[in-house]
């Protein structure tokens, strides 16, 4: 049964989409069956997976409003080796249209329930807001991965997210937990990055992934070719970092604890 992981942080530009696309491709390379769900109307994960958002008949929007079944929305990222529920601007309307609808926060969870057994990992790319689309992601998820840049206001933003997760646990999704915090665009030479990183570890301990994603121009270039970095320049530091992250995630989630 798939582990559903929401990659989320209400801050924009922290590396959510880059993480979803490249972690998905890395997990696929390691033989895992992966589905990516693009929950952002900006559709960066869709384009970055090599799927043209302007050519789509159906998107995750249609799935959320029950206007199309999973099979007619799901497409393949050949470059990434994973399946994709794509998005485009239409998805912005879901926010408005779902307001008056029953179970509006659990539409995605319901839509994924029947296909979960066909995947090992389902990665959800959340928009940079704590809106209804993100809530659908958090309600559907078993765990969250929080990418963050180690800069001055990073920790402040995290407390809102931690509060939201606590509310989710109390109501919609009792089992949801933080799978890991991921330091992205990391510059080892920056004193500030080192300090924020130390504070992060102090506060969240083992929840912080050991793997750090370096700032790497290849990671920023790859999406303009519709490619994960593995298919663009697999020797790049960024490519190797996401492969290492996949190993760390697999070790965290697939190693069964031996009962005492
Ligand atoms: P988000 O989805 O959180 O808004 P993105 O993944 O789109 O963030 O990243 C924001 C920008 O930073 C993009 O232009 C992306 O290509 C770039 N970027 C992300 N991670 C890295 C990295 N490790 N090194 C260099 N550029 C990066
Ligand atoms: Mg994004």
Cα 40 to ligand 1 centre (Å): 14
* Ligand 2 centroid, distance to 14 Cα (angstroms): 8
Q: Given pLDDT bands bounded at 50, 70 and 90, which one contains residue 260?
A: low
Instruction: Tell me the pLDDT tens digit for each residue of 189-207.
Output: 999 999 999 999 999 999 9
Query: How far is Cα 118 from Cα 222, in angstroms, rounded to an integer?
Result: 28
ipTM, two decimals: 0.99
Give the separation between CA 160 and CA 140, rounded to whole angstroms. 19
Average pLDDT over residues 147-151: 94
Sign of CA dihedral 81, 20, 256, 106: negative
pLDDT, tens digit (0-9, with 9 covering 90-100), for 204-252: 999 999 999 999 999 999 999 999 999 999 999 999 999 999 999 999 9
User: What is the whole-number distance in angstroms between the Cα of residue 171 and the centre of ligand 1?
Assistant: 32
Q: Average per-residue pLDDT in the chain?
A: 95
From 129, 134, 220, the mutation candidate for ligand 1 (largest count of ligand atoms within 8 A of CB) is 220
Neighbours of 237 (CB within 10 A): 15
Contact status, residue 172 vs residue 138, Cβ threshold 8 Å? yes
Quick one: pLDDT at residue 258?
A: 61
| Residue whose CA is at the smallest distance from ligand 1 atom 1 | 13
Q: Write down the pLDDT at residue 99.
A: 85
Q: How far apart are CA 9 and CA 105, in angstroms?
A: 18
SS3 sequence of the chain: CCEEEEECCCCCCCCHHHHHHHHHHHHHHCCCCEEEEECCCCCHHHHHCCCCHHHCCCCHHHHHCCCCCHHHHCEEECCCCEEEECCCCCHHHHHHHCCCCCCCCCHHHHHHHCCHHHCCEEEEECCCCCCHHHHHHHHHCCEEEEEEECCCCHHHHHHHHHHHHHHHHHCCCCCCEEEEEEEEEECCCCHHHHHHHHHHHHHHHHHEEEEEEECCHHHHHHHHHCCCHHHHCCCCHHHHHHHHHHHHHHHHHHCCCCCC
pLDDT in tens, 151-185: 988 888 898 899 999 999 999 999 999 999 999 99
Q: Which CATH superfamily is domain 3-148+215-251 in?
A: P-loop containing nucleotide triphosphate hydrolases (3.40.50.300)
Q: Give the pLDDT confidence of 20-67 residue by residue, as tens digits.
A: 999 999 999 999 999 999 999 999 999 999 999 999 999 999 999 999
Query: Please, which pLDDT band fits residue 255 given cuts at 50, 70 and 90?
Result: confident
95: pLDDT confidence band, cut at 50, 70 and 90? confident
Q: Which atom of ligand 1 is nearest to the CA of 9?
A: 3
């Amino acid at each position: 049964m798939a582990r559903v992981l929401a990659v989320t942080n209400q801050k924009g530009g922290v590396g959510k989409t880059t993480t979803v696309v490249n972690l998905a491709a890395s997990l696929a390379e390691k033989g895992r069956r992966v589905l990516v769900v693009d929950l952002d109307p900006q559709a960066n994960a869709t384009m970055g997976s090599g799927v043209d958002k302007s050519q789509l008949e159906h998107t995750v929007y249609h799935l959320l409003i029950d206007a199309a079944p999973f099979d007619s929305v799901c497409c393949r990222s050949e470059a990434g080796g994973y399946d994709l529920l794509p998005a485009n601007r239409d998805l912005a309307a879901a926010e408005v249209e779902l307001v008056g609808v029953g179970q509006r926060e659990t539409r995605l969870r319901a839509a994924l329930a029947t296909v979960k057994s066909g995947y090992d990992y389902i990665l959800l790319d959340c928009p940079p807001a704590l809106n209804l689309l993100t809530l659908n992601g958090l309600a559907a998820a078993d765990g969250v991965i929080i990418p963050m840049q180690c800069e001055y206001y990073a920790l402040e933003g995290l407390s809102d997210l931690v509060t939201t997760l606590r509310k989710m646990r109390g109501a919609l999704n009792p089992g949801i937990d933080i799978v890991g915090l991921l330091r992205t665009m990391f510059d080892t030479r920056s004193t500030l990055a080192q300090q924020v990183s130390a504070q992060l570890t102090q506060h969240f301990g083992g929840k912080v992934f050991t793997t750090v994603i370096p700032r790497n121009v290849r990671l920023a270039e790859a999406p303009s070719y519709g490619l994960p970095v593995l298919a663009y320049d697999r020797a790049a530091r960024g490519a190797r970092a996401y492969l290492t992250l996949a190993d760390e995630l697999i070790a965290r989630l697939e190693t069964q604890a031996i009962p005492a």
